[in-house]
């Protein structure tokens, strides 16, 4: 039988594509860059809307998938031992915390330091107390607890996800003990807690959603639970369904195509029909993460040619730098625009959302193209530099200096 592995290659592609779509969503908000396929180019096939704009415009859903992947990968060693008692023992709680700290903290604190040096000034705040509150809550990953440090922060707004992630790390060793003994019961309890929190705090009486509560840690408990259960099922399937059988390969390919279609349908349907996008987002969070987990499980047994789309060298590279891509892409995007790189004219009187609202102007097309190219190249290049020249060397150094029992 094939023993569970601690790394599943197709997850690199899932992480990479999720990261690129999230970046596309934030970039679309600043550029209004429309789909590259004209709306009527497939009209001869009866397809009236061939725009790809729905992909970046639904990018907010893929933040949940990064959280799902985190829970999946973290629980995978524990799941491996659940299905194979001879598998290597997973990390102890102390080892887990040390490894997570050496992985997460140096790049995160570097990001905060660079923001303090170049972008965040005490004068930007209404009071000195607000400046220190914003800084201290970000240093302690508690910035999601307060509306003023969540919505009105002067740091990159995408950092809220790191707060949720670290909060998950704090309880993860305790969850693993319960999950290893009662996986399905624990999964059910976490789902009930998540849905209960969403119903009580994330829903509003008028049929909308509370922006402050939809992305708090309790609202993501179901996503984390889906990731942990998917890791367990992945190890279970790998032991019971050998990858060498052609029928399993073709079955995995077919199912991965089916679930990919379901995901596309959910995204397009939510974008086109939801009356309140945030309400749709939080209500479909469970279903979207379940379908993504099912897609991952099917893809793990799919044909190697299909798996290559998610495990090729480019996907591995983007996955490797994805953490720093997430930390810096929004800042790079906004700073390019603030410094008018590439150049765009002064806004017209009563202009809104400038310059993306200037569609039809003679300079508009070249500005969008230049902004797009510069943003993507700069973001990827900077993330790669931070990853390979800072994150990995510092992480290795800190891990070497930690006591042997924590390595």
Six-digit token pair at 353? Answer: 């959302």
Long-range contacts of 161-165 (CB under 8 A, 24+ apart): 161/63, 161/66, 161/67, 161/326, 162/104, 162/108, 163/217, 164/67, 164/215, 164/216, 164/217, 164/220, 165/67, 165/70, 165/104
| 72/217 Cα distance (integer angstroms) | 17
**pLDDT for the residue 360:** 82
* Positions of the chain with pLDDT under 70: 1-6, 34-50, 242-244, 404-407
Q: What is the pLDDT of residue 37?
A: 53
- Predicted confidence at residue 243, as pLDDT, reads 65
> Any idea where the domains of the chain sit in the sequence?
10-120+155-406
Whether the CA torsion 123, 128, 131, 136 is positive or negative: it is positive
Under 8 Å between Cβ of 245 and 88: no
Say how many Å lie between the first and final Cα of the chain, rounded: 29
Give CA 97 to chain center in angstroms. Answer: 21
Query: CA triplet 394, 399, 400: central angle to 5 degrees?
Result: 100
So what's the pLDDT on residue 180?
A: 94
Give the pLDDT confidence score for residue 172 in this predicted structure: 97
CA distance 325 to 230: 26
Residues 6 or more apart whose Cβ sits within 8 Å of residue 80: 3, 4, 5, 6, 87, 88, 90, 235
Instruction: Report pLDDT for 2.
Output: 41
């Amino acid at each position: 039988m094939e023993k569970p592995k601690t790394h599943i290659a197709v997850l690199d592609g899932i992480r990479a594509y999720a990261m690129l779509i999230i970046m596309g969503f934030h970039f679309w908000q600043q550029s209004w860059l429309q789909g590259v396929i004209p709306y009527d180019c497939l009209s001869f096939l009866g397809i009236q809307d061939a725009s790809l704009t729905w992909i970046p415009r639904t990018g907010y859903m893929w933040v949940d998938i990064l959280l799902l992947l985190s829970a999946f990968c973290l629980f995978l060693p524990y799941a491996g031992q659940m299905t194979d008692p001879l598998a290597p023992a997973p990390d102890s709680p102390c080892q887990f915390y040390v490894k997570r700290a050496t992985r997460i903290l140096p790049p995160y604190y570097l990001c905060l330091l660079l923001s303090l040096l170049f972008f965040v000034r005490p004068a930007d705040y209404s009071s000195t107390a607000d400046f220190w509150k914003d800084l201290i809550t970000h240093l302690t990953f508690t910035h999601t607890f307060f509306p003023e440090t969540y919505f009105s922060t002067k740091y990159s707004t995408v950092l809220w996800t790191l707060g949720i992630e670290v909060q998950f790390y704090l309880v993860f060793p305790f969850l693993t003990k319960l999950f290893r003994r009662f996986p399905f019961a624990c999964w059910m309890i976490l789902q009930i807690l998540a849905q209960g929190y969403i119903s009580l705090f994330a829903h509003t009486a008028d049929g909308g959603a509370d922006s402050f509560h939809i992305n708090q840690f309790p609202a993501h408990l179901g996503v984390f639970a889906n990731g942990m259960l998917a890791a367990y099922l992945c190890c279970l399937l790998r032991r019971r369904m050998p990858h060498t059988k052609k029928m399993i390969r073709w079955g995995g390919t077919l199912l991965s195509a089916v679930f990919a279609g379901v995901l596309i349908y959910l995204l397009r349907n939510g974008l086109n029909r939801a009356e309140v996008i945030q309400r749709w987002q939080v209500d479909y969070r469970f279903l979207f993460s379940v379908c993504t987990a099912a897609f991952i499980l099917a893809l793990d047994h799919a044909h190697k040619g299909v798996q290559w789309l998610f495990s090729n060298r480019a996907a591995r590279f983007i996955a490797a730098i994805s953490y720093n891509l997430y930390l810096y892409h929004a800042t790079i995007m906004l700073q390019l625009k603030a410094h008018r790189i590439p150049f765009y004219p002064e806004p017209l009187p009563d202009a809104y959302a400038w310059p993306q609202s200037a569609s039809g102007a003679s300079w508009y097309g070249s500005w969008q193209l230049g902004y797009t190219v510069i943003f993507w190249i700069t973001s990827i290049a900077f993330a790669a530099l931070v990853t390979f020249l800072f994150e990995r060397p510092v992480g290795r150094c800190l891990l070497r200096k930690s006591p042997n029992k924590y390595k």
